[in-house]
């Protein structure tokens, strides 16, 4: 079952088209990355899925029906613009968001207590949100998105402004939520997070989809590179476009950086070396990064971080 479906969705603000004929499906379970540079249409799309904005054209389906408030008990949302009640206590604000999503007072309090322990917020449980650091506030904000144990968890730029320690913490929480049965959709312009977390992804550019598939499928759009140590230049091997010598060792072996033709399989190159008696000491395959793929697809659009 698809938990989120867009069919030819368009969103215009006056003469500006923020989302342009966007179609995709998010299958149930796992982590789905919604990737693109700043201004690519990610936040607008998530807001339409939540019925905060209405599409100009096209159809959206969330958890089997049109977007609306009735799905709120099954959805968790971490907005890009964080919004917590700063004078409320940590436990109080988490519990309050649980009540907003349909939990009883007792259930909301119990879920808040569990999340406080899970997120290591016990020291701050009775302190006002205003007294917390940015990283601690981010944990509380995430707890408000998780308090109702959502089937669909939408995270808009969740890593923005966090230090490396808290980024790693958040990545672990995303994995835990998916392992617990939630479908996680998160938007980001930082490709490294998507590369580590996503089962599937959508790359957006100027409101349009430029790629949909797995991380592996995305990385295979660009030819692999090889680093080999050989007795002779490998530039005559089938599938090799260029072989540049990097360093010649004292014993006569030379390190090469090798570029392959699009579609060439590194395994076939290695097999050709063996079949032709081409002497090798080392053979290392380097796949293109998701960042390189994105720059290739969108032509170096600004606002994308490695």
Secondary structure E strands in 28-67: 30-36, 57-62
Q: Which helix (H) or strand (E) holds 88?
A: none
Q: Roughly how many angstroms between the first and final C-alpha of the chain, as a whole number?
A: 32
pLDDT band at 118 (very low <50, low <70, confident <90, very high): confident
Half-sphere exposure of 9 (CA within 13 A, CB side): 28
Which whole number is the average pLDDT over 84-112?
93
Instruction: In whole angstroms, give the CA distance from residue 113 to residue 90.
Output: 10
* Encoded tokens for 25: 């499906």
Q: How far is CA 83 from CA 8, 141, 224, in A?
A: 31, 8, 44
Closest residue by Cα to residue 288 from 246, 226, 231: 226
Pairing of strands 225-230, 240-248: unpaired
pLDDT band at 32 (very low <50, low <70, confident <90, very high): very high
Q: Which helix (H) or strand (E) holds 42?
A: helix 42-49
Which whole number is the average pLDDT over 210-215?
93
Structural domains of the chain ordered from first start: 2-218 (3.40.50.300), 225-287 (3.30.70)
**Range list of H helices, 147-239:** 164-179, 191-197, 215-219
Q: How far is CA 22 from CA 25, 44, 60, 194, 209, in A?
A: 10, 12, 10, 20, 6
Closest residue by Cα to residue 237 from 212, 264, 218: 264
How many other C-beta atoms lie within 10 A of the C-beta of residue 27? 13
What's the pLDDT at 160? 80
Half-sphere exposure of 222 (CA within 13 A, CB side): 19
Q: pTM of the full predicted structure? A: 0.82
Closest residue by Cα to residue 233 from 250, 255, 251: 255
Query: Looking at the predicted structure, is the pLDDT value of residue 220 above 90?
Result: no
Pairing of strands 30-36, 183-188: parallel
Percent of the chain past pLDDT 90, that is, above it, reads 52
What's the pLDDT at 301? 53
What's the pLDDT at 257? 92
| Beta-bridge partner residues of 188 | 35
Mean of pLDDT over the chain: 89
Q: Identify the top-confidence range among 81-85, 129-133, 148-152, 157-161.
A: 148-152
pLDDT band at 200 (very low <50, low <70, confident <90, very high): very high
Instruction: In whole angstroms, give the CA distance from residue 196 to residue 190.
Output: 11
């Amino acid at each position: 079952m698809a938990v989120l479906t867009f069919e030819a969705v368009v969103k215009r603000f006056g003469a500006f088209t923020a989302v342009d004929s966007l179609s995709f499906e998010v299958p149930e379970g796992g982590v789905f990355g919604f990737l693109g540079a700043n201004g690519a249409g990610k936040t607008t799309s998530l807001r339409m899925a939540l019925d905060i904005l209405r599409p100009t054209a096209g159809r959206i389906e969330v958890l089997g029906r049109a977007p609306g408030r009735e799905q709120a008990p099954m959805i968790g949302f971490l907005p890009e613009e964080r919004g917590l009640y700063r004078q409320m206590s940590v436990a109080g604000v988490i519990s309050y968001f649980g009540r907003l999503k349909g939990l009883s007072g007792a259930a909301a309090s119990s879920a808040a207590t569990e999340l406080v322990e899970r997120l290591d917020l016990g020291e701050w449980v009775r302190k006002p949100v205003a007294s917390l650091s940015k990283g601690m506030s981010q944990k509380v904000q995430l707890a408000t998105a998780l308090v109702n144990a959502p089937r669909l968890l939408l995270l808009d730029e969740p890593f923005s402004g966090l230090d490396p320690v808290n980024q790693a913490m958040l990545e672990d929480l995303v994995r835990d939520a998916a392992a617990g049965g939630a479908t996680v959709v998160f938007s980001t312009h930082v490709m490294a997070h998507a590369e580590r977390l996503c089962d599937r992804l959508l790359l957006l550019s100027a409101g349009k989809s430029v790629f949909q598939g797995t991380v592996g499928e995305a990385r295979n759009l660009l030819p692999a590179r090889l680093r080999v140590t050989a007795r002779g230049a490998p530039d005559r091997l089938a599938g090799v476009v260029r072989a540049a010598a990097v360093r010649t060792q004292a014993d006569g072996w030379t390190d090469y950086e090798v570029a392959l033709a699009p579609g060439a399989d590194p395994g076939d190159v290695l097999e050709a070396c063996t079949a032709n008696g081409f002497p090798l000491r080392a053979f290392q395959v380097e796949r293109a990064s998701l960042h390189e793929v994105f720059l290739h697809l969108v032509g170096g659009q600004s606002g994308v971080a490695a």
